[in-house]
């Protein structure tokens, strides 16, 4: 694996040099965009909108529109905005993980102690395990401040980036049924179905079957086989059908 960030975790006066690695690897297929006429690959070019000429990557700078003009920023400007946060993951406080709503979670990263930080890394990891708490921290990645959760995961310290509150959109515009308006008998029946479907969580049980089936279609087309298309229609049931559907679902589970 290749590290994507290096710096340190600050825990009180303790400084732990670390490297970050992406903990996520996509399971989807790597699909290319092609011209439908001759199946040639499509290339995207960075073009100057005034000259229509391609601009090499090394000649591209970042700018912010301010009072109808662009102010160009370089790497030193980004570091100057918060130099300590570009190189440190500052643990601000500790909380119970259950207090963090799942809507805030964004991306996961492995941390690895850099040379000289092994002992302090191990101490923080074991302290987190024993306390049952997680650290809330801030740092800067790719010119953007990030909020993160520091927690133990197996034998490492995991960093979970989480969203700031202002990044979460309001749900007020959604058309949602009022709480308490649903019939209690229907809720009781739904709870019975929930109990029937409840089991211990095991992530290994869940597989990316969509990608697997898509790959089979690709292999079949590559071998000149005809693909049988399945027809699927979305059925919108009336509210009166809910109780009957719940009863049928319970009966189906018992039969299986």
pLDDT digits (tens, 9 = 90+) for 50-69: 999 999 999 999 999 999 99
Out of 135, 166, 197, a domain closes at 166
Residues 118 and 14 sit within 8 Å (Cβ to Cβ): no
- Residues 126, 215 within the same domain: no
Give every CB contact of residue 131 below 8 A, 6+ residues apart in sequence. Answer: 94
* Nearest-angstrom CA–CA distance, 187 and 43: 53
- Residues 11, 127 within the same domain: yes
The DSSP H or E segment spanning 5 is strand 5-11
* Nearest-angstrom CA–CA distance, 31 and 41: 11
- Residues 22, 59 within the same domain: yes
pLDDT at position 118 is 96
* Nearest-angstrom CA–CA distance, 39 and 41: 6
pLDDT at position 85 is 72
Could you say which residues of the chain have pLDDT below 70? 83-84, 181-182, 233-240, 253-256
Residue 47 forms part of a structural domain = no
For residue 16 the two structure tokens come to 């732990």
- The residue assigned the tokens 């399971």 is 27
- The residue range of the domain holding 191 is 184-255
Residue 179 forms part of a structural domain = no
The SS3 of residue 32 is: coil
Residue 132 forms part of a structural domain = yes
Residue 173 forms part of a structural domain = no
For residue 143 the two structure tokens come to 């010119």
For residue 64 the two structure tokens come to 């912010």
Residue 45 forms part of a structural domain = no
Round the CA-based radius of gyration of the chain to a whole number and report it.
26
**C-alpha to C-alpha distances, 184 to 34, 54, 197, nearest whole angstrom:** 54, 64, 20
- Residues 204, 160 within the same domain: no
Of the candidates 151, 156, 119, 129, the one whose C-alpha atom is nearest the C-alpha of residue 19 is 156
For residue 104 the two structure tokens come to 């805030």
Residue 23 forms part of a structural domain = yes
How many CB atoms lie under 10 A from the CB of residue 52? Answer: 8
- Residues 188, 101 within the same domain: no
Residue 49 forms part of a structural domain = no
- Residues 147, 20 within the same domain: yes
pLDDT at position 238 is 61
Out of 97, 132, 166, a domain closes at 166
- In this structure, what CATH number is given to the domain that contains residue 143? 2.40.290.10
- Residues 64, 140 within the same domain: yes
* Nearest-angstrom CA–CA distance, 155 and 186: 45
- Residues 61, 25 within the same domain: yes
Residue 171 forms part of a structural domain = no
- Residues 90, 25 within the same domain: yes
How many domains are contained in the chain?
2
- Residues 160, 193 within the same domain: no
């Amino acid at each position: 694996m290749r590290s994507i960030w290096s710096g340190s975790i600050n825990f009180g006066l303790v400084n732990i040099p670390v490297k970050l690695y992406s903990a996520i690897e996509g399971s989807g297929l790597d699909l290319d965009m092609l011209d439908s006429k001759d199946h040639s690959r499509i290339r995207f070019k960075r073009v100057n909108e005034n000259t229509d000429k391609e601009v090499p990557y090394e000649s591209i700078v970042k700018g912010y529109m301010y009072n109808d003009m662009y102010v160009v920023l370089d790497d030193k400007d980004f570091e100057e905005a918060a130099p300590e946060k570009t190189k440190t993951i500052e643990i601000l406080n500790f909380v119970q993980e259950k207090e963090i709503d799942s809507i805030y979670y964004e991306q996961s990263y492995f941390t690895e102690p850099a040379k000289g930080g092994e002992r302090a890394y191990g101490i923080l990891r074991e302290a987190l395990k024993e306390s049952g708490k997680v650290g809330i921290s801030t740092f800067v990645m790719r010119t953007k401040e990030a909020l993160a959760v520091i927690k133990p995961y197996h034998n490492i310290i995991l960093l979970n980036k989480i969203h700031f509150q202002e990044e979460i959109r309001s749900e007020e515009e959604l058309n949602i049924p009022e709480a308490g308006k649903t019939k209690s008998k229907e809720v009781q029946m739904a709870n019975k179905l929930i109990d029937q479907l409840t089991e211990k969580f095991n992530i290994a049980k869940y597989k990316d079957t969509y990608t697997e089936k898509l790959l089979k279609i690709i292999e079949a087309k590559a071998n000149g086989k005809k693909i049988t298309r399945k027809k699927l229609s979305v059925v919108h049931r009336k509210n009166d059908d809910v109780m009957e559907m719940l009863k049928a679902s319970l009966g189906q589970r018992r039969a299986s």
